[in-house]
């Protein structure tokens, strides 16, 4: 990632504090589906008819955009909390953040509420707000609202995604300089705090927001929300970027079943289908009245091994299991090739991804067996482990089945019992997730340091690093290091430790895809963390044509 100048001073690449996309309930189950398609080119995106996207002149205003998404009774609506993709869509439709990410995952002011943002020092950031921004009820947005939002994020009693924020910021660090300027005084150095401000769940709500009345600053105001059914949004004429908002109304419609979602799109009952199953990829691409966009932004599924639970406390076992995986086959079986092979390192979108240049790990049964032999495992003393996945995330189920199958190649030295657990139990406080030695998880794309933080403190899935490691000290150092080259060195050191001793098996990074009616114009295909290019930043810059 190169430094860019969009009125934002920041240092190269690096730290990004984004919130992972959490899904639960029905939407978890449909998160990833494997399907057939030819292996994708290295290119990030694909679509079936580029002409639809050609820089067409902005069209007329009007119409109702119907967006289909998987959702159910668990739908929620909050400026600072999401669980499923349906929740993301609704958040983006109503609220906006100070900064956003461009296609290179650099924080910028485009579509954001900040006019400018400057990192004055590793512990101080100053943000100047746009003039004339109105909330949906007509009141003006000021520094008070920004500070109130960040206070809410910092408040442990509130159900928000702000846990990660508390490492670097306290409520006392929020200073109102004037009605349109806010100062963030960090308690820990973070040279990439601007990326934090671009976290899509750090969206600005009106001061006094209690999570119940959804009043935001976006181009559409909320008319009604019925969980499990749909939400209706009406064009807001007082929007600060009103000229780029075209539809009269947007409806986000829930579907319980992915096939129903796809069918509704084919039958022209909706205009956009978010997160289509890969099984239908080819079918949708072949329809003349539809376009398909695929996105690759570093989301990943993984096997977790807790380095403090037997037998995974033995590094020979961990590395042997990593060598067991035929990653190409797993990519094909689980995602039908819609993804990129992984090398047990996260942070795919980070400029410092795989800073040491490790070669792609391949299945190497003899090497695995050799490692296991060192620890005393053989056919007469096999390594028998249980591996679990929740039943509400399709990709994870396929992953454990594939690994169990691939383990058979050890001819009885490694036996994996793959078990599917019902989602409610698996993710619960005492469930398999994070409480057992060998299980699965999913993440959306983040930069390296952000992910390291999340995996250490928010969701300590592998309990890595061990006590005697310098990993955590390195992490703090890297977060405070402004010099890009020095930071890369530290990151490389951290990655080396994970590559050689870590607890994750990361077989691939998964893509996701959306399908649109050709009636929808202005859709741009570019890398983004969220579907529909961040839901078109609140359904802007797209129109019916």
Partner 1 sequence: MSSENAAEAKFVDERPPSLVRQAFRLRRTQIGAVLALMLISVALIGPFLAPFGSTEYVDLPNTLSVPGTIFGTDYFGQDVLSRFLFGGRTILILAILATSIGITLGTTLGLTAAYLRGRADEAIMRALDVVLSFPQVLLSLVVISMFGPSNVLIIFTVGLSTTPRIARIIRGAAIGVVERDFISAAEALGESRKRVVFAEVLPNVTSSLLVEMNLRLTYSVGLIASLAFLGFTPEPNAANWGLMIQENRVALTEQPWGVILPTTALALLTIGTGLIGDGFSRVSAGIDRGGKGE
Partner 2 sequence: MKASIFRFVLKRIGLGLLTLFIVSLLIFAVTQALPSDPAEAMLGREATPEALAALRAEFGLDKPIVVQYGNWLFGILGGDLGTSYATSTPVSEYIGPRVGASFFLLLIAAVGSIPLSIVVGANAALRRDRKFDTTSSLVSLILAAMPEFVVGTILTIIFSTTVWQLLPAVTYLEVGAPPWSDLQGLILPVLTLLLAVTPYVARVMRAAMVEVLESDYVEMARLKGMDERTVLWRHALPNAVGPAFQVIALNLAYLAGGVIIVERLFNFPGIGSALADAVRSRDLPVIQFLALIIAGVYILTNLLADIGTVLVTPRLRTRLK
Q: Which residues of the shown chain bind partner 1 in the complex (CB under 8 A)?
A: 26, 29, 33-37, 258-259, 277, 279-280, 282-283, 329, 332-333, 336-337, 391-392, 397-398, 401-402, 405, 420-422, 424
4 binds partner 2 (CB under 8 A): no
| The pair of three-digit structure tokens given for residue 485, joined into one six-digit string | 């080259």
Nearby residues of 472 by Cβ (< 8 Å), 6 or more positions away:
456, 465
516 binds partner 2 (CB under 8 A): no
42 binds partner 2 (CB under 8 A): no
3-class SS of residue 110: coil
**327-335 and 394-407 helices cross at what angle (nearest 10)?**
140
353 binds partner 2 (CB under 8 A): no
496 binds partner 2 (CB under 8 A): no
Other beta carbons within 10 angstroms of residue 291's beta carbon come to 24
Q: In terms of CB distance, is 37 or 375 closer to partner 1?
A: 37
Give me the residues paired with residue 119 across strands: 125
Other beta carbons within 10 angstroms of residue 509's beta carbon come to 25
Residue in 339, 341, 346, 312 with CA at minimum distance from that of residue 328:
341
Residue in 169, 119, 126, 121 with CA at minimum distance from that of residue 3:
119
Closest CB 17 distance from partner 2, rounded Å: 16
Q: In terms of CB distance, is 184 or 255 closer to partner 2?
A: 255
240 binds partner 2 (CB under 8 A): no
461 binds partner 2 (CB under 8 A): no
Q: What x-and-dash track marks residues 20-39 binding partner 2 by CB under 8 A?
A: --x-xxx-------------
464 binds partner 2 (CB under 8 A): no
As to burial, measured by CB atoms within 10 angstroms (0-12 exposed, 13-18 middle, 19+ buried), residue 476 is: middle
Q: Which does 279 bind (CB under 5 to 8 A by kind): partner 2, partner 1, none?
A: partner 1
Round to whole Å and give the CA distance between 57 and 53: 11
**Cβ distance 295 to 528 under 8 Å?**
yes
Residues 78-137 that bind partner 2 (CB under 8 A): 83
DSSP string, 300-327: EEEEEE-TTSTTTTSHHHHHHHHHH--H
Residue among 379, 424, 473, 486 that touches partner 2 (CB under 8 A): 424
Q: In terms of CB distance, is 397 or 478 closer to partner 1?
A: 397
Residue among 431, 465, 507, 538 that touches partner 2 (CB under 8 A): 431
Q: Which does 431 bind (CB under 5 to 8 A by kind): partner 2, partner 1, none?
A: partner 2
Q: In terms of CB distance, is 199 or 244 closer to partner 2?
A: 199
Round to whole Å and give the CA distance between 98 and 492: 31
428 binds partner 2 (CB under 8 A): yes
263 binds partner 2 (CB under 8 A): yes
As to burial, measured by CB atoms within 10 angstroms (0-12 exposed, 13-18 middle, 19+ buried), residue 132 is: exposed
- Site for partner 2, rule CB under 8 A: 22, 24-26, 72-75, 83, 159, 163, 224, 226-230, 232, 253, 255-257, 259-261, 263-264, 266-267, 269, 392, 422-425, 427-429, 431, 433, 459
């Amino acid at each position: 990632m190169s430094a860019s100048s969009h009125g934002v001073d920041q240092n190269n690449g690096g730290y990004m504090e984004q919130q992972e996309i959490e899904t639960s309930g029905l939407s978890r189950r449909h998160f990833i589906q494997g399907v057939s398609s030819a292996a994708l080119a290295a290119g990030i995106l694909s679509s079936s008819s580029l002409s639809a996207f050609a820089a067409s002149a902005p069209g007329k205003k009007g119409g109702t955009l119907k967006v289909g998404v998987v959702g159910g009774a668990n739908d929620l609506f909050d400026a600072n909390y999401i669980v499923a993709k349906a929740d993301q869509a609704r958040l983006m439709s109503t609220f906006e953040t100070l900064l956003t990410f461009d296609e290179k995952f650099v924080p910028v002011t485009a579509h954001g509420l900040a006019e400018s943002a400057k990192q004055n020092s590793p512990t101080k950031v100053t943000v100047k707000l746009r003039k004339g921004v109105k909330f949906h009820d007509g009141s003006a947005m000021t520094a008070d609202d920004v500070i109130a939002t960040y206070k809410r994020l910092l408040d442990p009693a509130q159900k928000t995604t702000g846990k990660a924020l508390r490492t670097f910021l306290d409520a006392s660090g929020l200073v109102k300089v004037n009605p349109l300027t806010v100062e963030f005084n960090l308690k820990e150095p973070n040279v990439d705090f601007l990326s934090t401000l671009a976290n899509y769940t750090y969206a600005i709500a009106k001061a006094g927001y209690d999570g119940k009345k959804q009043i935001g600053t976006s181009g559409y105001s909320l008319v009604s929300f019925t969980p499990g059914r749909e939400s209706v949004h009406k064009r807001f004429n007082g929007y600060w970027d009103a000229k780029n908002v075209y539809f009269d109304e947007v409806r986000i419609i829930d579907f319980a079943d992915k096939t129903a979602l796809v069918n509704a799109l084919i039958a022209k009952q909706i205009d956009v289908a978010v997160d289509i199953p890969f099984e239908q990829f080819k079918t949708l691409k072949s329809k003349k009245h539809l376009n398909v966009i695929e996105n690759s932004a570093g989301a990943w599924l993984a096997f977790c091994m807790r380095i403090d639970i037997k037998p995974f406390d033995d590094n020979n076992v961990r590395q042997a299991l990593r060598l067991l995986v035929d990653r190409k086959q797993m990519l094909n079986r689980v995602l039908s090739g819609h993804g990129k092979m992984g090398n047990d390192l996260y942070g795919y979108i980070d400029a410092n991804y795989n800073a040491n240049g490790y070669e792609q790990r391949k299945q190497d049964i003899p090497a695995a067996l050799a490692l296991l032999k060192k620890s005393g495992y053989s056919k007469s003393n096999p390594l028998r482990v249980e591996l679990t996945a929740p039943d509400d995330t399709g990709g994870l189920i396929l992953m454990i089945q594939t690994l169990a199958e691939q383990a058979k190649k050890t001819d009885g030295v490694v036996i994996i019992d793959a078990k599917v657990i019902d989602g409610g139990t698996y993710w619960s406080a005492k469930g398999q997730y994070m409480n057992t030695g060998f299980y699965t998880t999913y993440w959306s794309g983040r930069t390296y340091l952000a992910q390291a933080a999340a995996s250490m403190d928010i969701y300590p899935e592998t309990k890595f690093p061990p006590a005697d490691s310098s990993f955590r000290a390195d992490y703090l150092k890297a977060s405070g290091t402004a010099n890009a080259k020095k930071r890369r060195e530290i990151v490389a050191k951290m990655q080396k430790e994970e590559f050689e001793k870590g607890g994750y098996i990361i077989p691939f990074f998964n893509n996701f895809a959306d399908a649109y009616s050709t009636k929808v114009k202005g859709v741009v295909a570019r890398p983004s963390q969220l579907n529909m290019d961040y839901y078109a930043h609140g359904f802007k810059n797209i129109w019916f044509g």
